[in-house]
Chain A
Amino acid sequence: MSEIYSLLEELIESDDEFLEEQSLKVTRYIKELEVGIITEGLCRSYIQDVRDLMQINNIRGEIKNKALAQKIIEELTKLLIKGVASAIKGVL
């Protein structure tokens, strides 16, 4: 989970508007789950959307930060397999 946080921070600071927006969304969803604003199901669904959007974007030929985006796609997939709530509990 800490790997995801550091990757998200890296993407937020990148000069790519799309990746920055998607990373901010994931950070917001995790925070909202932590404080109980959204359910685990909703958080999972939103993170899947972000993962899909990043995959579509990464298929495009020449894009900035492709390797970094690929890394976060893999980490988000691992998170979805493990279960968002249990992954967060492991960090807290």
Chain B
Amino acid sequence: MKYKKYFIGVIVVLFVLVGCAGSLMSRYDKETHQNMAYLKPMIEDVYSMYQKIDVDVVYLNKVNNAFRHILAYEKSKGNPNVDIVRQIEIVYNMFDRHAKERIAQGMWSKAHAENKLKNIQKAIDLVIESELLKNK
């Protein structure tokens, strides 16, 4: 009878530990996947715009805001999601750096815009792949 009591106690402790471990792990989030996929055509429009003389600042701000909202959402998930946050920060810095380069250098050639677009799209794909890995 005495051992049965201990046994139940151990089972309860194990359940608590498994529950805690589960809450510390980041799970696949469909919204993260959708948010990153949503950015891709927007960025494509921006890099196409960089090949023209004028830059639509309103649209550029819209994309910047989309990045900020996504980052705020990811950060709200807390510590287990720190890797995805760091990855999106690098993508956002890359996007910001490209914008600064466009302002400093002037109009981009088609080949240059395509190279830059390919690189940032690959960066977004890597974030999506990382999120999908949580499914495994």
A residues with a Cβ closer than 8 A to B are 41-42, 45-46, 48-50, 52-53, 55-57, 59-61
Contact = CB atoms under 8 A, between A and B. Distances in A.
Closest 3 CB pairs of A and B: A49-B119, A56-B126, A56-B87
Interface residues of B, number: 22
Contacts of A56: 87, 90-91, 123, 126-127
A59 B129 CA distance: 12
A52 B130 contact: no
User: Secondary structure at chain B's binding surface: helix, strand, loop or mixed?
Assistant: helix
Nearest to A46: B115
Interface stretch (B7-15, B51-59, B70-78, B93-101): B93-101
Contacts of B94: 48-49, 52
Interface of B: 83, 86-87, 90-91, 93-94, 97, 101, 105, 112, 115-116, 119-120, 122-123, 126-127, 129-130, 133
B130 A53 contact: no
Contacts of A41: 101, 105
A50 B90 CA distance: 12
Given A60-B133, A61-B133, A52 B115 contact: no
5 contacts: A46-B119, A52-B90, A56-B87, A59-B87, A60-B83
Contact of B101 (A45, A50, A52, A53): A45
A73 B43 CA distance: 25
Contacts of A59: 83, 86-87, 130
A57 B101 CA distance: 24
B115 to A, nearest CB: 7
A48 B90 CA distance: 11
A46 B108 CA distance: 14
B90 A55 contact: yes
B112 A60 contact: no
Chain B CB within 10 Å, residue with most, of A41, A42, A49: A49
